[in-house]
Structure 1
């Protein structure tokens, strides 16, 4: 099979993979608020972290032992997309929405979607290796199109006018079903030979818990969890925050209020561009300082949202979107490299799994629930738009203060001499 052909096919796969997610991840909070579930936004985003604790590992075992990865990828997308369509049709057919039904359909959908993030990587790695290509050189340009897909559906949802409606779920479901059909046409990924597949303990990253015996690694994983708290906050609450300005006549017709998703999509564009800065930053500053830069960037991300508005202060929003790329990419990539450098090869995969559990699992779940409690107290306890916006500012400052404390503690407590820059 020609290398250019396989690269194109994997590029399409990655584009669709993240387009499914981009259709609702940053706008679902706005819909939930408009549907009367503003006080439950955090629980929806927390569920992504909860299912990420075990579903990717379970589906990974299935792909290792019984069902080829490309077929399982299709099955998971079929189920996730079907359930997402069920969620959409429920919102359209019911005059009074029940939180339990809405939440159950969403939970089941994301339970099958989240494993596809790892499965799509497995399909890409296996296909590239079978074609004799270098993963380090070949995969990043392919993966970038995943972010492009995410941005495209964010913008599409905004232009279609479904940011504040359940129509975003229909968009996601449609793309998911297309991905399901497309997945079954991808190159075959053989299951592992008998006796070589991962067990549940290894798949869940549990073997790597022995690393907590080392002070350096224990501190790293604790700080990974503490930083992970910040990961989903703006995904869940930035859009409903900006939408609140729409209740103030001076801001109602601003671009940011009318097309909040397009404004927020600049964060993902920044993320794509900041990936290119990582090699330079690592060489110049070292792993620890790059992780610290990411933590400081989270302070700016939240603080700038608290200071800005979609009118004359929109430039502060723009700066917040720009620093998001540094905040998100720098810690995720440098943290992953740190794990790779500091762990024995025999538990390296488990250690990477543990890193993901601490950040995107436990950390993101606690962050979504904690942020919801803060927003409920300062924002949704108010009924006047001006009072709500004041509450939003206080909330963003609290999130910024939290990130600042984490950054300060990290700078003081975490010691790492593995970088040339720190030697």
Structure 2
């Protein structure tokens, strides 16, 4: 073998080792987080349906194991290791969340044992995965990244379920949150021009593809997400009673539901507000990004403030920066750390605005990743040239006008599932998710 061929072979082996090391690091991190989150929960509460919006917690455990078995074993040629009936029980598309408690679910000990068996088989099978393969599932370790991101997305769903849980107090062990001084809100001018939307990274999802250019007109964007204190002014000034600010469907919805403030806020007299955050009732902080607001609520506030929600193209333009440099994250291509953003779930809540100055974008926008998902004005639609991979049910079946796009990730999102191009989506009435927003404005 020539020296050049030897060097090329060595480079290929290192690249292979790199994606395998990354895959195991992310898979193990996701499992450790899931176990740590659920360890304090009594078995009876793991089996209980705490909200019709969410699954029983134990369903998620076995669902994650079944998903891993299907994609990291069977799809790669390894034999099934468990009862094929699990495929139907833990199929998220066959059973709506509000029906899953009626299924013959594995109890907690059996669900964890199933997850362990699958992971051990996956670890053993990885050794047989070829260094080079024509299978697109293995390109850059895509399918391993898909499964790791899937489990971390379910960890965020588990956090939302734990927040909705009222039968027992869930008191998480929290990492300290930074406490910066007061940070004033201001607008940042984002020059117009082309922005490359999407991602070509091996672990990017199908809805992030293909990468393409979109022209964006100049606009102004809030430097920080809208805070609880800002939103409180809207609430106390009668914003929920004034139809002028609301999408007609949204106003009809809040009237029917009797909504007068964000989810988990607790009014306690004139200008006195508390909130429930997991097992704790505490004063409503004024300096944190508002969260647990629906798209309708975000849109109404923006109208009231004389602004609007940004489009997802504008949001990604702000995250990429206007200097033409391609960045995976607003600050560059370095992987997220605690200094850049509030991610990973260890703080169990949002940090005050301005807490992560190293996460500032090239144009001077703060907090684009982490703390709260940010609603955009855009419907969840495919990019031109979209191709479903590896299955339609991840993205394609949700395209349309029923869901709005969210960007940026929340405090409960894992770094592996957060990047400038990542697209989340949900119905405009959803409030249990860790969502907030920032406002935009046309340049006149």
TM-score (norm 1): 0.29
The structure with the largest helix share of the pair is: 1
Higher relative contact order (Cα pairs below 8 Å, separated by 6+ residues): 1
The structure with the largest strand share of the pair is: 2
